[in-house]
Structure 1
Amino acid sequence: MSARPLPTSTPSAEGVDASGVHALLDALETSPDIEPHSLMILRHGKVVASGWWAPYTADRRHLLYSLSKSFTATAAAFAVAEGLLRLDDPVISYFPEFDADITDPRSRAMLVRHITTMASGHAAETHERALETDREEPVRGFLLLPPDGDPGTVFAYNQPTTYTLAAILQRVTGQSLTDYLRPRLFDPIGIGDVAWLAGRTGRQLGYSGLHATTDAIARLGLLYLQGGTWNGERVLPEGWVEEATRSHLASGDETWSADWRLGYGYQFWMSRYGYRGDGAYGQYCLVLPEQDAVVAITGATDQMQAVLDLVWRHLIPAFGRTTPQADASLAERTAGLALPPAAGKPAALETAVAFTPYDGGGAELAKLTAVEVDAAGRRVTFVEDGHRLELGFGEPGWTVTEGPVPAAVSGGWTDEHTLVLDVALLETPHHVEVTCSLTDRTFTAKWRTRPLHSSRILAMRAPRDSG
């Protein structure tokens, strides 16, 4: 579906110093550990700066990882308002079929409110333990793990809490999260196509797996910034934003990064400035009430705190001052953002070549059994677990192939014997780096950032059957 674009303005018209945005872009682009994919900055309800680093584009859905949690909590807001969900009900009351199995008193005392605020009573992440306990029904596996303390007294970032909340929502609504949110959230605030990964049970994950555009992130942030209203109409229940975006429990100690120990709400983190939803490898929805601003970011980095530090250092001081002469250069710059392509030149071969894994392959991409390059040196095919993915390469910059797994490839031959390719999986934060040796016809492949849901290249895409 198409939606009305968010209103736009110039930085100076909304009291934002474009020089500060330039400085933020400089810092993001020169940091060796940060790969930015997109940035949107809104102030006073208007987009004052936005850009996507090629080969990423504005219309591309991007895996949001744990930023998905903030959308799940928003679904809970509607279910509460409709009388389908009560935050002070025991979690077990929504799963009567497990009632006889769940005997620990703390597990039985766990309320929906507790799983919504990551306060189940467990002292640490339980994801792997829950799956080990019951892989077919992770909710049951989670509820069979006795909490270490009383629910509501201890915070632990814990995926099964949000998974269980999502399971409850899908049970009481009779719909997937995306179907339930479409008429209540997505359509009213203009969010277009989204997709959400599902697990073995067929339920959408809730705690991760949402694929959405940067624009969708910005719209969610703006809805919360506006207290749950959109164009003057109430979308979220009265009072929900205030409850969802305050600290319900301390969220960490001095061993945690600075912006992760300031408290946790309903699937939102408190920050040094405002509050936020965020996801692994650099997906952010920053809501800054004091600045009347929203910042949406996607990217690929292991340095989550470093990105926030750069925003606080360069962008926060830019609110409330202007440099009108910098507006035009910023607009020109954001229109031409691009990631540097890998080095290498195209070259034709005498014949097509198939490369096999060097030294038996590695654990990171164990299912990748062959890399094939055509004689013209313009197509590369990845053979993974018997399935084939053919991609173009060899054009200047990035060669984009839509196909079953949207990807962009850069690089080429770095010498007469060595082919080096950087493969960006465009609906995710992830890249595969591939080096092929013509000398022994072998290849090596590694993830730049390791995917959290699957290690298969062919899984690096949004589901095509939801939204």
Structure 2
Amino acid sequence: MTVRPLPSSTPSAQGVDASGVLAFLDAVEAAEGIEPHSLMVLRHGHVVAAGWWAPYTPDRLHLLYSLSKSFTATATGLAVAEGLIRLDDPVISYFPEFEADITDPRSRAMRVRHLASMTSGHEAETYERAAALDPEELVRGFLLLPPERDPGTVFAYNQPATYTLAAILQRVTGRSLTAYLRPRLLDPLGIGEVAWLTDRRGRELGFSGLHGTTDAVARLGQLYLRGGVWEDRRLLSRAWVAEATRALIPTAGAMGDTDREDWDRGYGFQFWQSRHGYRGDGAYGQFCLVLPEQDAVLAVTAATTDMQALLNLVWQHLLPAFRPGPPAGPQDAETALADRLARLSLPAAPGRAAPPDRTGEWSAAEFAPYGGVRAGLPGLTGAAVNANADGWTLTLVEHGHRLDLRLRPGGWSVAEEPVPTAVSGGWTDRDTLAVDIAFLETPHRLRVACSLPGRTLTARWGTEPLHGGPLRSLRAPRRPV
């Protein structure tokens, strides 16, 4: 499929102050604990600013974590319109094989709309408890867990609720979420490749695991901003868009954190209300921000454990950049912004070339996890450093599986196999090799250090992966050849 680019324009032609976008770039790059990966700004249906911080690129799939939920919600809206499901159907009616097991009256009273709005009646996340009740079938484990309150009366962010919604969709359509969405949403929007993680049953997760480009996120936001219409073709009903994106249930205090103002505004069908507009979001800073009052959409990918801080910078710098007419700022700001967006890059980790007088000791050196294998993070059993004709290679070992990483001090070394990575770093002193490994289809970076005197290895995550698995799994799923 040929993907047509979104319409583009200069910021001023769409009433956007380029100085505000520049101020946001300055702020996000200066913010401690925020690693930006991409930004797209749409106003009046036009891309007015887009940039990717190298080594991240426009065509790179990126793990969206819970922003996946908004795509699942969209599939739900399509299935409702086609008469495949009804929001007021009992959830148990879609799983007759569990009918005899599910005896709690609140579980039996749970409706499809309660799954979509995170109002199953449970007062907290149920994933671990549901998985413990049935490790092989999360839907059954979830339905076996009696809600503490009546469904529809309390909000709790709850992964099995969305998983069960996704399971219903895959059951009634007879297809994966991706296959169902392809002709109804992805192709009409011009979204190219996407990939969704599956569980051991082969189901796409629904609540997480979708990998897509920043452009795909922007297109979904634009569809909702336009009330479900794309290029004069209605894809979603206006009623669905309105219901999915309004506050169906209060969320204040539900996340157990007093500094989450943008999570205390209410929840719709897999969309959050924000201080401004509404949004889909995913762990570590994956955002689809829809701003109806400004007629704007923002798509962001990042790596941060402080998502509220990132949103605060958006409201502080980008929101005021949207003007009712052409901005009065200096004209050279647009030239500066275009140049800046073309040169965005993440700084490489510090490090020098191998110390010349220690190359013999470093070459073929092997390292064991500091404190033993059980202390290894994220499960590394060893590492080795080797010199070759092309330079140096760091090899990480996980229980017999090798990940060879080429070192290029002073910059990023990008490789696609066996997992897409960008590596930077080098020797910080004669005895220490320190390397950052960015797993390019995720928001995750691993920092590894090898110490020559003790032949020990340490490793720590910047943002820790939430799906588990070995390093080689930190990539978008690939279709079988």
Same fold (TM over 0.5): yes
The answer to whether residue 334 in structure 2 is matched with residue 331 in structure 1 is: no
Aligned counterparts of 2:400 and 2:381: Cα–Cα separation in 1: 8
Aligned twin of 2:277: 274
Moved more, 402-411 or 357-366: 357-366
8 Å Cα contact 1:106-1:151 kept in structure 2: yes
Letter in 2 for 1:284: F
- Please state if 1:317 is matched with 2:324: no
Which residue identity lines up with residue 177 of structure 2 in the other structure? L
Aligned residue identity for 2:194: V
What is the aligned-residue RMSD (CA, Å)? 1.4
The CA deviation at 1:21 is: 0.4
* Residues 89-128 of structure 1: CA deviation (Å, up to 9, x unaligned): 0000000000000000000000000010000000111011
After superposition, where does 1:406-421 map in structure 2 within 5 Å? 406-421=420-435
Shift in Å, 1:389: 1.3
1:151 is displaced (CA, Å) by: 0.4
Change (3 A) 1:259 1:239: same
In the aligned structure 2, how far is the partner of 1:466 from the partner of 1:222? Answer: 32
Establish whether residue 345 from structure 1 lines up as the match of residue 352 from structure 2.
yes
1:286 maps to which residue? Answer: 289
List per-residue Cα deviations over 1:216-269 (Å, max 9, x = no partner): 000000000011111111111232111110111101228361010111001000
Q: 1:410 corresponds to which letter in structure 2?
A: S
Q: Is the 8 A contact 1:361 1:444 kept in 2?
A: no
SS at match of 1:374: strand
For structure 2, the 5+ residue unaligned runs are: none
How far apart are 1:2 and its partner, in Å? 3.2
The correspondence for 1:261, drawn from 264, 283, 286, is 264
> Is residue 377–residue 458 contact of structure 2 (8 Å, CA) maintained in 1?
no
Letter in 1 for 2:160: P
| C-alpha distance after superposition, 1:402-460 (max 9, x if no partner) | 11210000000111111000000000000110000111211101111111001521111
Partner of 1:130: 130
Aligned amino acid, residue 263 of structure 2: W
C-alpha separation in 1, matches of 2:98 and 2:353: 60
* C-alpha distance in structure 1 between counterparts of 2:170 and 2:93, whole Å: 15
Residue identity matched to 2:34: I
Match of residue 251 from structure 1: 251
Please name the residue that 1:175 is paired with: 175
CA separation in 1, counterparts of 2:372 and 2:16?
A: 55
Equivalent position to 2:439, from 400, 425, 429: 425
* 1:265-319 CA-partner distances (Å, limit 9, x unpaired): 0100001110000000000000000000000000000001111111001111111
Aligned counterpart, 1:5: 5
- Which amino acid in the other structure matches residue 353 of structure 1? A
Distance 1:363 1:436 in 2: 15
TM-score between both structures, scaled by the size of structure 1: 0.98
Give the equivalent residue in structure 1 for 2:50.
50
On the 8 A contact 2:376/2:458 being kept in 1, the answer is no
1:375 alignment partner, SS class: strand
Instruction: Please give the TM-score of this superposition, normalised by the length of structure 2.
Output: 0.95
- Is 1:375–2:364 an aligned residue pair? no
In 2, Cα distance between the equivalents of 1:172 and 1:316?
41
Alpha-carbon distance in structure 2 between the residues aligned to 1:199 and 1:268: 24
Count of aligned residue pairs for this structure pair: 467
Q: 1:404 aligns with which of 411, 418, 436?
A: 418
Output aligned runs, 1:15-26, within 5 Å: 15-26=15-26
SS at match of 1:47: strand
> Identity of aligned pairs, percent?
66
> How many Å separate the matches in 2 of 1:397 and 1:423?
12
Structure 1 position 436 matched with structure 2 position 443:
no
Q: Is the 8 A contact 1:345 1:394 kept in 2?
A: no
1:195–1:466 contact (8 Å) kept in structure 2: no
